[in-house]
Amino acid sequence: MHLLLIEDDLALRTALQRSLVRAAMRVDICSDGTIAIDIWKSLQPDVVVLDLSLPGKDGLEVLQQARKAGLGTPVLILTARGTVGDRILGLNAGADDYLAKPFDLDELEARVRALHRRHKAPSRNEVQDQPPVGGLRYDKESGAIYHQHRVLDLTPRELALMGALMNRPGHAIAKERLFEVVFPGELNVQYEAIEVVIYRLRKKLVDTGVTLMTLRGLGYLLKASA
């Protein structure tokens, strides 16, 4: 696995790099927010571990610009900001996971590997063998969801959500079930975080011929537009 670590604290950066390299990962580092996007584009890593407090440019700004530039790499945010509001801000900016400092190195490694697995294996989320829904189809060879000939730019969490919904088009899936699919085993993630993923996904489904609907008291469903 190729990981990009964007962290300005030298001691923490060195400790993390050593630990992750011992875990058989290739780790490149960046310590300045102003050059992070260029390095990210150049290296095309499998996973990015991103600190929020960076010199030159805040980590949230780096993440927002990366997503706008079409960089869909899974991102794990590291930060001392541990409140619910800060976690929601990070997820809304395009993060896939969030780990507050101080943290256990084994937990960091496990979360990074989980992000990598979800990004590489969308079949876990039951999307591979599903028929087209509206204007959307799944390409088994590339692992991408297409609208006509355009690949939808989906994060691993958004792809997980789409997989569950495409498995039962036209049928409501409970919010609790979707949370389990999108945030498997992640006990420190607030329940409301699923709404952030749904909000972001809805924006990406505009003009695809598919609508992500809310059925009060029942959950969410994916429906082809009339």
Name the band, by pLDDT with cuts 50, 70 and 90, for residue 88.
confident
As given in the structure block, the two tokens for residue 174 are: 């409970």
Indicate if the pLDDT at residue 140 is higher than 70: no
CA distances from residue 13 to 6, 20, 78, 197 in whole angstroms, order as listed = 8, 11, 11, 29
Name the band, by pLDDT with cuts 50, 70 and 90, for residue 85.
low
Q: Say if CB 177 and CB 220 are below 8 A apart.
A: no
**Per-residue model confidence (pLDDT) at position 111:** 87
**Per-residue model confidence (pLDDT) at position 154:** 84
What are the residues whose beta carbons fall under 8 Å from the beta carbon of 166, sequence distance 6 or more? 126, 127, 130, 133, 136, 138, 222
Indicate if the pLDDT at residue 45 is higher than 90: yes
**Per-residue model confidence (pLDDT) at position 161:** 86
Expressed in angstroms, the distance from the first to the final Cα of the chain is 43
Indicate if the pLDDT at residue 24 is higher than 70: yes
Indicate if the pLDDT at residue 125 is higher than 70: no
Q: Say if CB 137 and CB 146 are below 8 A apart.
A: yes
**Per-residue model confidence (pLDDT) at position 124:** 42
**Per-residue model confidence (pLDDT) at position 15:** 92
| Verdict on whether the full-model pTM lies above 0.75 | no
Domains in the chain: boundaries: 2-120, 122-224
CATH 3.30.460.10 assigned to 2-120:
no
**Per-residue model confidence (pLDDT) at position 129:** 47
**Per-residue model confidence (pLDDT) at position 156:** 81
User: Domain 122-224 adopts which CATH fold?
Assistant: Arc Repressor Mutant, subunit A (1.10.10)
